[in-house]
Each structure stands twice: as C-alpha cells, then as structure tokens.
C-alpha cells in the first residue's frame, strides 16, 4: 500500500477526560524524553443501526516540557499511513506530563492498522523525539452494532462505565453504572442537570474502547 498522508480532524470528543483514566497500557520503552506510549482504539456508535466509526488515541508520557511540543507525527510502518497535526492534547499532573492526540482517524474506508508505529514530537526549536510501539487489538468491532458491544466485551473481560452530561456537553459524572444509575429516573434523581448519557465499555487490556450512542435523560 502506498504512502497515505492525512491530517487529523479536530472532532468534538467530550469523553477525552475519562479517556485519560485508561492510559498506562500497551508497550513501554525508555528514551531520553519520551518514557512510554499508551494507545486505545476507540469505536464510537452514533445510533443503534450503523457500524461504528473508529479512531486511534495515542498519548506519550514525557520527561521533557510538553508545552514546547508544537507538532506530532504518527507513522504506521506496515501500512504507510502518516498522520501529522499541531493539535496536541497536553496534560500535567504533579510531576508527570503527557502529550498526544485522541483523534487519529484512518483514511476513508480503511481501518486502524495493527503493527509497528513510530510516534514523533517536534518542539519549537524543530528538535524531534521519537519512539516506536506496537498496536494490537480485536478488529471484530468494525462489524458490530451497539447492541453487540456488551457481549463482545464480555469475551474480552471488559469493563462497563457510564458518562453523564449536561445540555452543554459538560461531563457531570463518569464511573461505574451502579444500581441507582440503572434507569433514566435514577440518573435524573442523582443528576438533575443531566441531559444525556453514554455507556462506555473498554477491554481488559484497554486496547479497545466503545462509546455507545447518546441517550436522552427525558422523563415521560
């Protein structure tokens, strides 16, 4: 397959904050600045009748100042796909910091390739740090519907969460779907500002995340 170059799109992704909780997976490799890379293939279901869209989330644990990073380049060695973007998600927590992007989208009619990748960060001085890592995941989700996800995830020892949002898309809650959140009434009783919610599933190794369709918090 020839070399395909694409730029990432700036997509609305309200779940980026809970995605951060799924990091610290996948491969690790020690380099002077980039300590390790964590990834997740995200399948997002817009409704109950169509197959999901997919994207690749890649975040790097960096020992250098992520504020100086100005661009990211991600290369799939096996497919030749190349993503480049200046849209960098930067997260700092105590003495640790991460940088990356959650919206690496494959070319039209293509899937996220498995295999070896190279992630590079370019800073303001045009200096570059790179790290290699391997992406492996279960591709059966491409042919799934949202109703298939719970059973598919059970075969992968998956975990189930819920994300609840207000009318502006602000996240009010992300966590376990406890007994009190099993029904729309229960969600509304606990979060009176809730407008919609989404069920979230992720595999035990965190290589796959499924974001199910939005459901309104509307009481009859």
Burial 163-181 (b: 16+ CB within 10 A, else e): bbbeeeeeebbbeebeeeb
**Global confidence as pTM:** 0.84
Distance, CA of 136 to CA of 206 (rounded, Å): 11
pLDDT on residue 220: 60
pLDDT on residue 126: 79
pLDDT on residue 70: 87
10-residue mean pLDDT series, the chain (220 residues):
42 46 40 75 96 94 79 94 91 80 92 96 82 95 97 96 94 93 95 96 94 89
Contact 185, 169 (CB under 8 A): no
pLDDT on residue 6: 46
């Amino acid at each position: 397959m020839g070399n395909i170059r694409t730029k990432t799109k700036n997509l609305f992704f309200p779940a980026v904050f809970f995605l951060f909780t799924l990091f610290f997976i996948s491969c690790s490799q020690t380099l002077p600045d980039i300590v390790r890379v964590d990834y997740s293939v995200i399948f997002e279901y817009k409704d109950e009748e169509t197959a999901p869209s997919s994207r690749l989330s890649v975040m790097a644990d960096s020992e250098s100042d992520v504020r100086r990073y100005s661009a990211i380049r991600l290369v799939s060695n096996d497919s030749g796909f190349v993503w480049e973007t200046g849209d960098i998600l930067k997260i700092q927590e105590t003495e640790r910091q991460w940088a990356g992007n959650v919206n690496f989208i494959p070319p039209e009619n293509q899937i996220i390739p498995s295999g070896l990748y190279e992630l590079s960060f370019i800073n303001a001085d045009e200096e570059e740090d790179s790290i290699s890592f391997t992406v492996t995941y279960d591709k059966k989700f491409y042919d799934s519907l949202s109703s298939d996800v719970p059973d598919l995830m059970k075969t992968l020892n998956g975990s189930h969460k819920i994300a609840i949002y207000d009318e502006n898309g602000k996240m009010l809650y992300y966590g376990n779907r406890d007994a009190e959140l099993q029904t729309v009434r229960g969600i509304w009783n606990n979060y009176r500002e809730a407008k919609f919610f989404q069920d979230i599933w992720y595999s035990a190794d965190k290589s796959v995340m499924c974001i199910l369709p939005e459901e309104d918090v509307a009481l009859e």
